[in-house]
Structure 1
Amino acid sequence: MSVDVTPLLSVVVPVFNEQDVLPLFAQRLRPVLDGLDGSYEVLTVDDGSHDATPAVLERMRRDWPQLRIVRLRRNAGHQNALTAGLHRARGRYVVSIDVDLQDPPEVIGDMLTLARTSNLDVVHGVRTDRSTDSLFKRGTAGLYYRLVRRVVGTAVPHNAGDFRLLSRTAVDALTELPEHRPVYRLLVPWLGLPSGEVPYARARRAAGRSKYPLAKMVRLALDSITGFSAAPLRVATWLGCAGIALCVVLGATVLAAYLWGSVVPGWTSMFVALVFLGALQLLCLGLLGEYVARIFTSIQGRPAYVVTFDSAVTSARRPAGMPS
């Protein structure tokens, strides 16, 4: 059974050390895609896994002709793995979904139907029920979405992650952007294309451990803010103004005390002022450093990911009659 050069649907799946959940994911995803009215491909992007994930993917590919494997040479991160998949997806519509089964594959059919009947370029999967997430996860996620909606704008759907459907128009627009640290949950709304939403209840991870610890969530939040707004620079400016105003007040207080002859030598107030101003300067330098780091990364021009294997390219170069 051959795979169409231009399938109706491409499903992009970033994968990193997911040997346990991959078979479960295939059992859920394949019946959904086989039941669609049109051809499809599943493009798994192995983001530098160092467990048995590559071997599991190869076994799955033997029995699933529509499965493609793109393997990155090293771990490039979830968003960059998505970029690699979007750049290689050939479908007229592209769905991105994580492999942990917290986002149900059964919703893909609803997304495709809504996009085709309503002529939409983007369909977001929106989590209406996150009761399976921990209290800490729900709290930090809520804080993240409130923050980015305040900084970036209300066009960002609340509780919409990276489970979405994109038309070929949207995919082509995204792949033309010169982003070195893409955050697609903000980039996609920024395009301003016709969009819709499909609600679903978020499930528990089917197997394995989360690949988004606190450090990566903080990194995502920082990339989201510094990549889409100059607000942190303005915060640094306002903090600097507040520090100057405080120094003026302290200076006036000291001058008044000197004139009234009630100057008491001491180090506490001076110590507090120095610490405060020093912390303020470090904070401002840190915020400026984030933007300088982004400029430095852009000037370097290094690729965000390096592909070491693509099953579609390998199959195209294989002589006729040679088994896969």
Structure 2
Amino acid sequence: MRDIPVLYIVIPCYNEANTLPVTAPLFLNKIQELIERNLVQDSSRILFVDDGSKDDTWQIISTLAKNNKYFAGIAQSRNRGHQNAVLAGLMESKDKCDITISIDCDGQDDLNAMNEMVKKYLEGFDVVYGVRNDRSSDTFFKRFTAEAFYKLLRVMGVEVVFNHADYRLLSARVAEELGNFKEVNIYLRGMIPLIGFSSTEVYYERHERMAGKSHYPLTKMLELALNGITSLSIKPIRIISSIGLGVSALSFLMIIWTFVRYFQHQTVPGWASTLDIICLMGGLQLICLGVLGEYIGKIYMETKDRPRYIISKRTDNMEENNELDK
């Protein structure tokens, strides 16, 4: 059995001025409950990560941190996206705690699952995934596309946990190893399983958003899906290579057939067949160029080696760490 850990709850926030007053007390109640049950130490904290919000999110975080020792906050210099915000929180807290639990700000994920997560850590697990036991609260479209996305990732060779988002517990040594992954194009749901270490799952019900509105529209979901596939798998390139070989073989057979028909004097001049072949080949080439271009773009961004996040502000209880760029 492990010693009682110090926990940091990492919560990314983007324009959550309407949500924080509702959910912050719930997070506070949960961490106090965990302390009272002797599951985590009193030095545990709730770390909000302001992802370049344009509303009063940072002011609310600062006020929470001034009024209660369990709250802390950091702010990114600009909006960098959900995955970078989670990473920033994990990297900024990994030297201050034994475990982190990342969770969204909206209150949809069941906070009671944290109790079981910490117990699993005490049993010896280094990674505990929060997994939805059903998606009945989602619309049919979202449920269908989400399940199709997970299946597509697995087909593409990406190791992911089905119905798991970013609600998870990581031990400090897992967070330390995550820091050694230097890629700029981040997809944590696929990166965490690559680290290894002992892992398990905790199942929970996901509720409706408590306040505010979602900042993850369909366009951002598609962008995340594309980033997840191209950042962690080269299978699309192999697929288009296979398609290219197949089309080349088919074209070669068509050429032989055309010559045979020509010498049999059975060919009829026409534009339809020519046009069909041009359209088919042109479409395939554009698709293949698009996939290759996506990977080349990823390589371009990686070679720049830009910082994945930049912290511009910290609450007083986070000021001892003065390293700005990661």
| 4+ runs deviating over 3 angstroms | 312-317
One of 95, 114, 121 as aligned partner of 1:115: 121
How many residue pairs are counted as aligned between the two chains?
Answer: 310
Q: In the alignment, is the contact (CA less than 8 A) between 1:114 and 1:120 conserved in 2? A: yes
Q: In the alignment, is the contact (CA less than 8 A) between 1:96 and 1:165 conserved in 2? A: yes
SS in 1 for 2:133: strand
Q: Would you say 1:182 and 2:186 are equivalent positions?
A: yes
Post-superposition offset of 1:183: 1.1
Kindly provide the CA deviation profile for residues 25-45 of structure 1, in whole angstroms up to 9, marking residues without a partner as x: 112111110122212111111
Post-superposition offset of 1:21: 1.1
1:151/1:314 Cα in 2 relative to 1: closer, same or farther (>3 Å)? Answer: closer
Q: In the alignment, is the contact (CA less than 8 A) between 2:65 and 2:315 conserved in 1? A: no
SS in 2 for 1:129: coil
One of 200, 203, 211 as aligned partner of 2:204: 200
SS in 2 for 1:35: helix
Match of 1:185, as an amino acid? R
SS in 1 for 2:46: strand
Post-superposition offset of 1:149: 2.1
Post-superposition offset of 1:79: 0.5
1:76 alignment partner in structure 2: 80
CA distance, structure 1, for counterparts of residue 72 and residue 202 of structure 2? 27
1:124 alignment partner in structure 2: 129
| TM-score, normalised relative to structure 2 | 0.90
Higher mean Cα deviation, 54-63 or 214-223? 54-63
Q: Would you say 1:287 and 2:291 are equivalent positions?
A: yes
The CA RMSD measured in Å over matched residues stands at: 1.8
1:103 alignment partner in structure 2: 109
CA distance, structure 1, for counterparts of residue 194 and residue 318 of structure 2? 36
CA distance, structure 2, for counterparts of residue 230 and residue 101 of structure 1? 36
1:169 alignment partner in structure 2: 173
Match of 2:33, as an amino acid? G
Higher mean Cα deviation, 144-153 or 222-231? 144-153
1:152 alignment partner in structure 2: 157
Higher mean Cα deviation, 14-23 or 244-253? 244-253
Post-superposition offset of 1:186: 1.1
Paired residues for 1:15-34 under 5 Å: 15-34=13-32
Q: In the alignment, is the contact (CA less than 8 A) between 1:126 and 1:198 conserved in 2? A: yes
Match of 1:31, as an amino acid? N
One of 249, 254, 267 as aligned partner of 2:258: 254
Q: In the alignment, is the contact (CA less than 8 A) between 1:29 and 1:106 conserved in 2? A: no
1:46 alignment partner in structure 2: 50
Kindly provide the CA deviation profile for residues 271-321 of structure 1, in whole angstroms up to 9, marking residues without a partner as x: 11111111111111111112211211111111122211122477559xxxx
Post-superposition offset of 1:160: 1.0
Higher mean Cα deviation, 19-28 or 57-66? 57-66
Q: In the alignment, is the contact (CA less than 8 A) between 1:16 and 1:48 conserved in 2? A: yes
Match of 1:67, as an amino acid? F
One of 272, 297, 305 as aligned partner of 1:301: 305
SS in 2 for 1:45: strand
Post-superposition offset of 1:123: 0.5
Match of 2:136, as an amino acid? S
| TM-score, normalised relative to structure 1 | 0.91
Higher mean Cα deviation, 60-69 or 227-236? 60-69
CA distance, structure 2, for counterparts of residue 33 and residue 146 of structure 1? 35
Q: In the alignment, is the contact (CA less than 8 A) between 1:92 and 1:167 conserved in 2? A: yes
1:314/1:109 Cα in 2 relative to 1: closer, same or farther (>3 Å)? Answer: closer
Unpaired runs of 5+ residues, structure 2, are 322-326
CA distance, structure 1, for counterparts of residue 151 and residue 129 of structure 2? 18
1:242/1:312 Cα in 2 relative to 1: closer, same or farther (>3 Å)? Answer: farther
Percent identical across equivalent pairs? 36
CA distance, structure 2, for counterparts of residue 68 and residue 299 of structure 1? 34
One of 214, 221, 225 as aligned partner of 1:217: 221
CA distance, structure 1, for counterparts of residue 81 and residue 193 of structure 2? 21
1:277 alignment partner in structure 2: 281
CA distance, structure 2, for counterparts of residue 21 and residue 106 of structure 1? 19
Match of 2:144, as an amino acid? G
1:266 alignment partner in structure 2: 270
SS in 2 for 1:105: coil
CA distance, structure 2, for counterparts of residue 80 and residue 300 of structure 1? 17
Match of 1:205, as an amino acid? R
